[in-house]
Structure 1
């Protein structure tokens, strides 16, 4: 698919920034491209530590929340956590449970069943808690949109605390957004309009940790013990794909470092089951190996199994549970591959191909993988994509968006057609009646105002940089930019008038391109592109422009520079 190439044009005194922080000017430009302007912001980005994280007391209702919790703990009241079935919900539930247990609370937890309960707190879970003598419910990674459900719990005389990080729900009244929040006893969510917390992109586990941190302070518990939550926060932050900026960078950097010495038996067993080395875990391994195993429980079984793995103190039990999680993830992969192919074929061979917002109905597909398949469809066609499956009480769907299309807002405009919905600008979940699917699809497409520019993927180039400028010293500096992810993408560069001297498709599956390119100044470099998927191969002798990321390749003790091709075109 053809893409737009755009170069960041943000200005600054890059030489001065480089001198102040001891970095190359190229590094300074990349950092400025990430929206950082002040020395304080740049220092936090490069050198931030746990001591630089924002005070949890700045979160609206955080102290009020802990006031309630300490009163309930001292009174011996039953506290019940209601989490969520994804990686963030799993980790935030574990953090709250371990933290409240350490504080002496009489605490239990529940996780919604994806099929039976759907997302978040509901009347069934409330009734179950009430009948078990629960006095207080505390949510994590959900609750902010549960207006009626929390009203129901309050009518039963229960205390309800919400800890969440999702967008605040709203209604459109005369074209104006009117936000609405549940009538809980305390709501801890940095996205609230009147919340003074300086960073609103924490994941649910990050919010849960802030509450537990205050609880530890209030009860005089050893702050060193808070370190056991570091890797859980990092796993959730990476897995929930929140922006890796500000203190989220600190959370991930510190959490990954702490992972190597974790005392969490369950995490160690899962790393072992995935055949990884615990002292070499990166954000990639969390995002594409560990995280999917945790998520698979909530997709095909119960996320409770993942939480029990993270809570176990028996190594044999942990190994058994970890292998079960890995097996579930293999099953999840097979289902995903089967139905992703069906979804793509449906778009290509029906009237859907003319839609700018893709709504694909796969009645036989397991609803738990709808979001993953929506991501595959979006990746294939670069359009906002929603995959809907048949559910016990109608239909459920999950969507993935593209930059420039706020899926949560656009779905909200069609809210009258839906039974339930929620999410973010880039992802959303819905439930609706089956006979409303076509009307919903038409409404989304009639309302959309996307231009062709929005519907064309953009490759943002950090610095137009000749390959001649790149050396190993510069590449090693790029390590300071990690961890990479949403909000802190891996930097890419561009060079032009590169002559193709060799070009070949290699690899067991013949899906890797390997080229030798010559710069305008006569320097020969090796360039490689993975996952060709039928893409064109540059012809020997022709000149190309290339968007790339330089990497260090080590083979048989020989260290060399290798340029990873992100995109290319003929000059």
Structure 2
């Protein structure tokens, strides 16, 4: 697949920055490349610690919410938390529930069922709350768009506090003017409200819940240290909800990883053991691709309450059983996802859809909770905005994942006459429609789109040129300071042109790793490793240089194979030896 390579070239006084903050010029460049430019942001970035937290009281309605909760706790009124079924929702409930319990509240929780109820608080949950004698509903990771539902709760005399981080819903008036809709709740805590002065707008749902608990604990004179214990859970939610890993989110994840590696939470300990991670130092990767998906699997294929029960468990037998169940559910989810991805690829390749600029794929029989994951995999494979649709109880439901150049939410607005319901943001969306409208929906999205062919070329953004001879342990240690990597703080990528290859070897039990020996400009040898498509690599080398040169490369003989490389350097530890190597991301 063709690619466009770019070198970021942001003008800044790197010498000044490196002197002022005692950083290398390379790190100064990388920080500026990640759009971290104000003094406060740079200080928080290079030293992410609790003292860099923003004042929680600046969040609109936050103190008001704490005051309401304090009165309700004093009166022992019944409080019910209503969350969401994904990782962020489950952890938001865990934090609020544990904290309210610690303050001796009369509290329980409810999570909508993904299939039966769909996203967010609904009329049935409110009716049930009234019947159960609930005095106050506290939402987390949902509620900002539940206009009618909250109105209904208020009519029934229920106090409602909303904590959420999703975009504020709006009505489009004439000339595309957007009027934001306000809720009839008693208090609404969401940093995205235009009248909220909170400094950082990119918290996940659990992040908003945590800020509430900060002030709740202060009000009840509970030690800050106890409040910070929640950060290991918050780290999982922050990584899995794919919010920007800068500012407070960076602190949550950096500090949370330190805590989680010596966690005393029974459920997490068992889950880590069951995922065979006991010997490993957990990183962002483990949270996002192993731990998080296990908690998520219960909300996808069963009830999200299982994931929550695991975190709340104080009984070893129960924790072991639940951890095993979640890992098993996640294995099932992986198999179902793989089958779904294969079905989608077949549809794209065989139906002439391959030339569409927006993929709309209808696979009636996949589990509707997997549509989003499958859409994400297809988007990764083809670099095309992808919407995957599946049969639901009423009509069909879909989930979409996008690329930077395509604002999916805005594009869905253009088709809203075809949709029953939809919501989302630029990079991801969910929607439902009637089955007979799918083809028209596909046609309209593709006709409306302003995507050009070059928008669909994969973009490779390079931080800077880095000569292979300049790589040493100091540089690698410097780069480690930038971790944890994630959205808006991507792993740094470097490039060098025209590198001669000394030898190639295929490793791995599935023969899926390519190890290369490279020759630097100063005639030194350097190891490199590539985890991509090896067959394609061989084809490209053969077609450019001939099969003979490829064979020479494998034999370690003198050859003419030269590559441009995009890479990042790291340390390879093998049998007690440490050597410097580069990990190749792209080549040409």
Fold conserved between structures, TM > 0.5: yes
Deviation at 1:112, TM superposition (A): 1.0
- Runs (5+) with no aligned partner, structure 2: 542-549, 554-559
Q: Identify the range of structure 1 (19-28 vs 234-243) with the bigger mean alpha-carbon deviation.
A: 19-28
Partner of 1:368: 369
Q: 2:257 corresponds to which residue?
A: 256
1:318-347, Cα deviation, whole Å (9 max, x unpaired): 111111111111111110011110011111
Q: 1:193-208 to 2 correspondence within 5 Å?
A: 193-208=194-209
**1:90 aligned partner:** 90
Following the alignment from structure 2 to structure 1, what is the Cα–Cα distance between the partners of residues 11 and 456? 28
- Deviation by residue 1:279-329 (Cα, 9 ceiling, x = unmatched): 711111111111111010001100000001101111221111111111111
> What secondary structure does 2:488 align onto?
coil
Q: Relative to 1, partners in 2 of residues 1:464 and 1:7: Cα closer, same or farther, differing over 3 Å?
A: same
Q: What is the correspondence of 1:339-418 to structure 2 with a 5 Å cutoff? A: 339-418=340-419
Q: Which residue of 2 aligns with 1:550?
A: 569
Q: Is the 8 A contact 2:469 2:521 kept in 1?
A: no
- Which stretch has the larger CA shift, 8-17 or 81-90? 8-17
Report the secondary structure of 1:201's partner residue: coil
Q: Distance in 2 between matches of 1:550 and 1:224?
A: 37
- Identify the range of structure 1 (5-14 vs 273-282) with the bigger mean alpha-carbon deviation: 273-282
SS for the counterpart of 2:54 is: coil
Q: Is the 8 A contact 2:48 2:254 kept in 1?
A: no
Query: Does the CA contact (< 8 Å) of 1:260 and 1:278 recur in 2?
Result: no
- Tell me if the contact between 1:497 and 1:519 (Cα under 8 Å) persists in the aligned partners: no
State the match for 1:510 in structure 2: 511
Cα separation, 2, equivalents of 1:150 and 1:313 = 34
Q: Deviations over 1:31-86 (max 9, x none)?
A: 11011123332111010211111111111111111122122222222111111111
- Counterparts in 2 of 1:72 and 1:440: CA distance versus 1, 3 Å: farther
Partners in 2 of 1:498 and 1:267 — Cα distance? 46
State whether residues 256 and 281 of structure 1, in contact with CA within 8 Å, keep that contact through their aligned partners in structure 2. yes
**In the TM superposition, what is the alpha-carbon distance from 1:393 to its structure 2 partner?**
1.7
Distance, in Å, in 1 between the alignment partners of 2:457 and 2:434 is: 32
Specify the alignment match of 2:20 in structure 1.
Answer: 20
Report what 1:217 is aligned to: 218
Match of 1:187 in 2: 188
For the residues of structure 1 that align with 2:444 and 2:489, how far apart are their CA atoms?
A: 34
Quote the Cα distance in structure 1 between the aligned partners of 2:155 and 2:181.
Answer: 19
Q: Which moved more, 1:404-413 or 1:310-319?
A: 404-413
The answer (yes or no) to whether the contact 1:271–1:278 under 8 Å persists in 2 is no
Which residues of 2 match residues 396-545 of structure 1 at below 5 A? 396-532=397-533, 534-537=535-538, 538=541, 539=550, 540=553, 541-545=560-564
CA distance, structure 2, for counterparts of residue 48 and residue 413 of structure 1: 42
Give the direction of change, closer, same or farther, for the CA distance of 1:277–1:125 in structure 2 (3 Å limit).
same
> Does residue 167 of the first structure (1) align with residue 167 of the second (2)?
yes
- Segments of 5+ residues of structure 1 without an aligned counterpart are none
The answer for the alignment partner of 1:75 in structure 2 is 75
Question: Once the 2 structures are TM-superposed, how far is the Cα of residue 473 of structure 1 from its aligned partner?
Answer: 1.4
Instruction: Report whether the alignment pairs 1:560 with 2:561.
Output: no
Given that residues 80 and 109 in structure 2 are in contact (C-alpha distance below 8 angstroms), is that contact kept between their aligned partners in structure 1? yes
Q: Mark the CA change 1:267 to 1:234 in structure 2 (over 3 Å): closer, same or farther.
A: same
> What is the distance in 2 between the residues matched to 1:536 and 1:189?
48
- For 2:145 and 2:270, the matched residues in 1 are separated by 35
Partner SS, residue 454 of structure 2? coil
CA distance in 2 between counterparts of 1:76 and 1:514 reads: 65
* Match in the other structure for 2:329: 328
Tell me by how many angstroms 1:402 deviates. Answer: 0.5
- Offset of 1:533 from its aligned partner? 6.3
Counterpart secondary structure, 1:360 = strand
Mapped to 2, the partners of 1:256 and 1:95 lie a distance apart of 17
Q: Separation in 2 of the partners of 1:338 and 1:73?
A: 49
- What number of residue pairs does the alignment pair up? 569
Runs of 4+ aligned structure 1 residues displaced above 6 Å come to none
User: In 1, distance between residues paired with 2:226 and 2:189?
Assistant: 23
Q: How far did residue 278 of structure 1 move? A: 7.0
- Is 1:506–1:514's contact at 8 Å kept on the other side of the alignment? yes
TM-score by length of 2: 0.94
